[in-house]
Structure 1
Amino acid sequence: MAAPAPAPAPWPVSQDLAALAGRARSLSRGDAGLAGLAAALLRIQPVARELERRAWPPPARAEAPALHAWLAELGAALAEAEDLLDELHRRRLAGSAISNCVGAAFRGPARKLRRLAQRLDCARDDSERLRLGSAAGCGVRSPNRVTGSVLAERRVFGRDKECDDIVGRLIGDCVEIFPSVTPVVAVVGHGGMGKTVLAQCVYNDARVQGYFDLRVWICVWDRLDEAELTREILQSIGGVDDTPYDESLETLQEKLGEVVASKKFFLVLDDVWNDEGKTELENRSVWNKVLAPISSAAIGSKILVTTRMKLVAEVLNASYVVTLDGLKIVDCLLLLKETALGSETMEIPQDLLEFGRAIAAKVKGSPLATKVIGEMLRNTRSTQKWRALMDTEICDNIIISSLQLSYQHLPGHLQRCFAYCSIFPTTWRFNRYKLVKMWIALGFVQTPSEGKRLEDLGYKYFDDLLSRSFFGSANKDQQTYYFLDDLMHILAHHFSAQDCMKINEDIPVVIPPTVRHLSVSTDYLPQLKSKYRLGRLRTLLVLGSSSLSSSHFPGKLLAKFKNLRVLDLSESDIAELPDSISQLVHLHYLALCSIINKLPKSIYRLQYLEVLTVLFFHDNHPGGADKFVTVKHIKTCYEHKANRLVCNAMHKN
């Protein structure tokens, strides 16, 4: 059987600690409990940041479960701190003095605050054994990955079109607009899509061999040092065998320029990553220096890059980009047969064909997953074993193993924003504006630098994920929409398993207590109360159901979501909201379905509500389609009906 997928670490929270500490200090006004909480949050921040970087130790390391448990405990403590601070802030807005707020909000507030600070300090003390047990080198990517130009595959399936397309670009008589710049062709695709195999096919194609005078293959992987990369290119050509290793970059580049001068030079840069520790400008500078000597090569020289990230193609100014999608099911079936049954020329035996087709469908077009399962079936005709490998979980684990580096390479704030998307259906078309507003409502977007808006920083987060190939985009009816493909859905689900849940079939017996973000169909809404402590939820996404139409949200159930920040009903059949909506005192984001009839006046009491998605309000609201408004805007529209005291309170806020 396939090795299980790596256990997901809880998503990072260290970036939230300083912001929470700042909030506690601003609320304290001399209160010792709040000041103590702020100090405890700041004490644990450097520890949390270090251990989050070690969240994916190699499988042989025994401390992974303990480390993940520690991070989960920290996340739970921070959620408790956030709830406490939100409640105090809400009561402060209502006009009470902060000392009275604490007393009114909690019985024995000083004891509660002290207990929370002690919980954080205990977690800090527990971290010592984890810090000592982890090796100093804890990068998310191993430096030992190496690829070469030799094609190990006996046959390559489903990539003939892409191979011919790239070869045509490399050897075609294209007019070069800037002859001093060597044209770059980029192959972009998820892990396991066969980018390296495709590049090997191109590199060894007879047409390419006959066209170029020099060909060099470099596996870049984790190296973005100008001198090291230049030296490796020279070594591959045979140009630095007798030179000292500490030669300067300038000397190395002069030699490279001399070696490639007036020759048609073909350079493959396999598995290129963006250095997240550098700005985009700094990354561009590195590659400009590395590739500068190649400008002395003859016209017709080319560079082929393979990468998981569209951003890399942009940084390298690729003139042509090939996006490598998954294989078709028929090609996966052929690859499975080739790998499992070896050189046999016959078709898959009829008694195995049904299982083979099911496996080919479940690998989601991933050549790597197909080959791994094929190796597990090598030279066996056991229907029992073929049937066992139809298991979706086995296929998903292999896919996750091939994709996890992409996730681990993300900065922590982007990991959380991406993983959160797992609560949406697989066919969901993301609206950039709405998703960013959700992230902001949940506190996922860090405080921006002076002079910038949270929304602008949130859009940058989204664009960063898009440029790193986590989102896909498409155009329809002159509009752009965004989506997660099947592989990214699997990845997001895996790395959000402790924090997010999507209930689209039978409701589970128990919903794990760590879940803070939930999507559920209207069928299962009434069952939530008996399965879950609803006060923990931060997000509730309610989806429509084909089997049952529900026009209203149960009032008593809605009142239980006391810590909800995001409530999205836009895809449900819920046409009216109960007055108990006013009890969701922390709600920042509310999206309504298109058949909503009216809003309860009590919605004006929601002091935090900043965004309301108004799709259509018959005759009692002037908003048009896809109208985004604030509670204050709604108040203005209904002012003649609203309670004057509520209106005055809204004006004060």
Structure 2
Amino acid sequence: MAHASVASLMRTVESLLKSNSPMQSLTCDHGEEFSALHEKISSLEVTVKNFEKNSVSGEMKDLEVEVKEVANIVEQTIQLSVTEVVLANDENRREKAQERLSDSLKQIAEDIDCIGKESTNIVSKESTVQEFPRSSRNILNVENSMIGRDDQRERLLNDMTIDFSGEPKVIPIVGMGGIGKTTLVKEVYNNKSVLHRFDVHAWATVSQQHNRKEILPGLLRSTIKVDETIETRGEAELADMLQKSLKRKRYLIVLDDIWSCEVWDGVRRCFPTEDNAGSRILLTTRNDEVACYAGVENLSLRMSFMDQDESWSLFKSAAFSSEALPYEFETVGKKIADECHGLPLTIIVVSGLLKSKRAIEDWESVAKHVISHK
């Protein structure tokens, strides 16, 4: 799961750096910082791969957990910082938000450097794991809550743990970007009842410009111990290795963000179907055609928009946690939550931005801004 978190972080940064990104004007102002951060995350990906291809000691396992936590927090921090700049409604606030974004990017780079140094120490057995700086975690303390998704979570957990005979079952989770597909799958993937049920667990994040030769090594590192020569092997050999590593095992495979039927066809034959009863393949996709093509209709799970009550529950939880909510904030907050149009990611980002603001004028300013951009 550390690799999945780093891959998700990489996609967030790459989306900001794209020339056609709606945030292009913003990233131009911080181009060097984002590019440097991109390089550091690339190095972090190599570090995570080293975790996966080496036997995992206690120290290494602790570090993997730390990498996963930091990567998730870093991604949320970037999203919140960028949103704060975009929502700033006057030049003075925008300048201050830009400064905070620069500070956040510098601190994030330092935290990633720290992870790299600690991983080197562990691999070389020169030191044990030390606690990483909590600075980027202090910037943001918003969980990717599954509030309002209880029914879908329970449905997926049931589909994962009920006894099925015959060949492995494919369960597509379909919905638009930001609807909460990956968050739901992560929560179920890490559920104790699910972890104990399967012999093998593997996760691959699939980009829009997919490359099967990049997907297969990542899956293999989760199933068997491999060395650096894996990068030089051909696709056919990698596919054969993966199939053999899963033979006669109950496996759980996650393919996150599949864009086309061709991508599914490129990897599905790697997953054995004989003597693998009870195995599951979860795939997330934005494409209905992929969901229908890859899965069984009655197992497909559609992620719908949150309704008003669900949106408000998630917004309130992220913005106020367990604090009592003043009436005037509830009135304005509900207006803002409604303008997030039922998208959990948008709700989390905007409510996280308002978490540190306790002046009603700030909330009214944000409400006015988002409503004017309808």
Q: TM-score, normalised by structure 1?
A: 0.35
| Residue 194 (structure 2) pairs with residue 208 (structure 1) | yes
- Out of 213, 228, 232, which is 1:227 matched to? 213
- Out of 280, 301, 319, which is 1:322 matched to? 301
Equivalent residues in 2 for 1:405-424, closer than 5 Å? none
- Equivalent in the alignment of 1:59: 24
Which amino acid in the other structure matches residue 24 of structure 2? Answer: P
| Residue 180 (structure 2) pairs with residue 194 (structure 1) | yes
Change beyond 3 A, Cα 1:292–1:253: same
For structure 2, the residue ranges without an aligned partner over 5 or more in a row are 1-17, 29-40, 46-66, 74-142
**Per-residue displacement from partner, 1:69-109 (whole Å, max 9, x unpaired)?**
xxxxxxxxxxxxxxxxxxxxxxxxxxxxxxxxxxxxxxxxx
Which amino acid in the other structure matches residue 170 of structure 1? Answer: M
- Equivalent in the alignment of 1:311: 289
- Equivalent in the alignment of 1:113: none
**Per-residue displacement from partner, 1:160-181 (whole Å, max 9, x unpaired)?**
11011111112212344xx2xx
Larger Rg: 1
- Equivalent in the alignment of 2:259: 273
- Equivalent in the alignment of 2:93: none
Whole-angstrom distance in 1 between the partners of 2:265 and 2:239 = 12
- Contact 1:149 1:203 (8 Å CA) reproduced: no
| Residue 312 (structure 2) pairs with residue 333 (structure 1) | yes
Q: Secondary structure at the match of 1:222?
A: coil
- Out of 255, 274, 282, which is 2:241 matched to? 255
Indicate the RMSD between aligned Cα atoms, in angstroms: 3.1
- Out of 198, 204, 214, which is 1:218 matched to? 204
| Residue 272 (structure 2) pairs with residue 295 (structure 1) | yes
Question: C-alpha displacement at 1:158, in angstroms?
Answer: 0.7
Change beyond 3 A, Cα 1:192–1:155: closer
Whole-angstrom distance in 1 between the partners of 2:355 and 2:212 = 43
Question: C-alpha displacement at 1:238, in angstroms?
Answer: 4.2
Question: C-alpha displacement at 1:361, in angstroms?
Answer: 1.8
Which amino acid in the other structure matches residue 323 of structure 1? Answer: R
| Residue 370 (structure 2) pairs with residue 394 (structure 1) | yes
Question: C-alpha displacement at 1:315, in angstroms?
Answer: 3.4
- Out of 165, 184, 192, which is 2:155 matched to? 165
Whole-angstrom distance in 1 between the partners of 2:22 and 2:284 = 26
Q: Secondary structure at the match of 1:385?
A: helix
Question: C-alpha displacement at 1:301, in angstroms?
Answer: 0.7
Question: C-alpha displacement at 1:359, in angstroms?
Answer: 1.6
Change beyond 3 A, Cα 1:307–1:154: closer
- Contact 1:273 1:309 (8 Å CA) reproduced: yes
- Contact 1:149 1:200 (8 Å CA) reproduced: no
Whole-angstrom distance in 1 between the partners of 2:21 and 2:302 = 29
Q: Secondary structure at the match of 1:293?
A: coil
Change beyond 3 A, Cα 1:380–1:302: same
- Equivalent in the alignment of 1:346: 323
Structure 1 vs Structure 2: percent identity of aligned residues? 26
| Residue 148 (structure 2) pairs with residue 183 (structure 1) | no
Whole-angstrom distance in 2 between the partners of 1:149 and 1:237 = 19
- Equivalent in the alignment of 1:240: 226
Question: C-alpha displacement at 1:304, in angstroms?
Answer: 0.7
Change beyond 3 A, Cα 1:57–1:246: farther
Question: C-alpha displacement at 1:354, in angstroms?
Answer: 0.7
Question: C-alpha displacement at 1:318, in angstroms?
Answer: 4.3
- Equivalent in the alignment of 1:11: none
Q: Which has the higher helix share?
A: 2
Change beyond 3 A, Cα 1:192–1:318: same
**Per-residue displacement from partner, 1:447-497 (whole Å, max 9, x unpaired)?**
xxxxxxxxxxxxxxxxxxxxxxxxxxxxxxxxxxxxxxxxxxx7xxxxxxx
Whole-angstrom distance in 2 between the partners of 1:183 and 1:247 = 29
Whole-angstrom distance in 1 between the partners of 2:173 and 2:372 = 24
Whole-angstrom distance in 2 between the partners of 1:199 and 1:228 = 21
- Contact 1:235 1:241 (8 Å CA) reproduced: no
Change beyond 3 A, Cα 1:394–1:206: same
Q: Secondary structure at the match of 1:390?
A: helix
Which amino acid in the other structure matches residue 195 of structure 1? Answer: K
Whole-angstrom distance in 2 between the partners of 1:325 and 1:154 = 17
Which amino acid in the other structure matches residue 338 of structure 2? Answer: A
Whole-angstrom distance in 1 between the partners of 2:169 and 2:356 = 45
Whole-angstrom distance in 2 between the partners of 1:331 and 1:149 = 27
Question: C-alpha displacement at 1:226, in angstroms?
Answer: 2.4
Equivalent residues in 2 for 1:544-583, closer than 5 Å? none
Change beyond 3 A, Cα 1:312–1:201: same
- Contact 1:187 1:307 (8 Å CA) reproduced: yes
- Contact 2:216 2:239 (8 Å CA) reproduced: yes
Whole-angstrom distance in 1 between the partners of 2:367 and 2:265 = 47
- Contact 2:165 2:278 (8 Å CA) reproduced: no
Which amino acid in the other structure matches residue 234 of structure 1? Answer: L
Equivalent residues in 2 for 1:80-91, closer than 5 Å? none
Equivalent residues in 2 for 1:535-550, closer than 5 Å? none
Which amino acid in the other structure matches residue 158 of structure 1? Answer: G
Q: Secondary structure at the match of 2:271?
A: helix
